[in-house]
Amino acid sequence: MNLDWTIVWQHRWDLAQGAGLTVLLTVLTMLAAVPAGMVLALMRLSRSRILSTASLWFVEFFRNLPLILVVYWAFYVMPVFLHIEFSAFTTGLIALCLNVSAYNAETFRAGINSIRKGQMEAAIAVGMSRWQAMKQIIIPQAWRRVLPVLASTWVSLFKDTSLVSVIAVGELAHVALQIRSSSFRVLEMLTAMAVIYWLMGYPQAKLADWVHKRFEVKE
């Protein structure tokens, strides 16, 4: 077995660019999926039957599908329905957003529900509207419980961005797999890919643990 690790160094800029795109995908998805999840959660908890059912089905649908399938579906089916051609990057981003929004919606809903009902009732009793009570009483408290779960979702999302490589978005996994097939340096490239993901993912996982500890709710 002869190994040639220089291949990794030769392609360092391609790999760095791929890693950059992975981070960009993670950040953009989260930026879109936090407000989206919030809206979905509020829809779910609203008194309108239509809004709450719509949100329920959206969340259940995307929570119960393999993400890789959603990526393919967004790539092949969505442009036909919407009559718009998206770039691979946008398509991947949309697929990730659909998935993470659904998870975030559940996170926010659980967070809001974890605040005792008496607080909402008390707020209404002192003359606040439901919306005011939500904004000024419930949501500020729910954040503490939501944040650790969001941190875990962030770590999962960071890893899940690798799945958009199947529609040729040039993020880390795609770049590494491309170099592998053009250079035939299979072991070197795959190991380098795993190590780069590890270097990026390990601190994030540890940070998520820290957030869990920091915001732990003691009963």
Footprint on this chain of another protein (rule: CB under 8 A): 1, 60-61, 63-70, 72-73, 76-77, 80, 155, 159-163, 165-166, 173, 177, 180, 186-187, 190-191, 193-194, 197-198, 200-202, 204-206
CB of 186 to another protein, least distance (A): 5
Residue 14 CA to residue 19 CA, distance in Å, equals 9
Which residue number, 80 or 126, has a Cβ lying nearer to another protein? 80
Is the Cα torsion angle 41, 42, 48, 50 positive or negative in sign? negative
- Which residues are CB-contacts of 54 (< 8 A; sequence separation ≥ 6)? 43
CB of 108 to another protein, least distance (A): 16
Which residue number, 28 or 200, has a Cβ lying nearer to another protein? 200
Which residue number, 17 or 204, has a Cβ lying nearer to another protein? 204
Which residue number, 23 or 200, has a Cβ lying nearer to another protein? 200
CB of 124 to another protein, least distance (A): 26
Residues constituting the chain:
219
Helix axes 12-45, 172-183, angle to 10 degrees: 150
Closest by CA to 108, choosing from 44, 23, 170, is: 44
CB of 213 to another protein, least distance (A): 12
Which residue number, 89 or 171, has a Cβ lying nearer to another protein? 171
The residue whose two tokens read 């160094």 is 9
Residue 125 CA to residue 133 CA, distance in Å, equals 10
CB of 195 to another protein, least distance (A): 9
The residue whose two tokens read 């659980």 is 110
Name residue 57's amino acid. Answer: W
CB of 204 to another protein, least distance (A): 7
Which residue number, 124 or 147, has a Cβ lying nearer to another protein? 147
Helix, strand, coil percentages (3-state) for the chain, rounded to 5, are 85, 0, 15
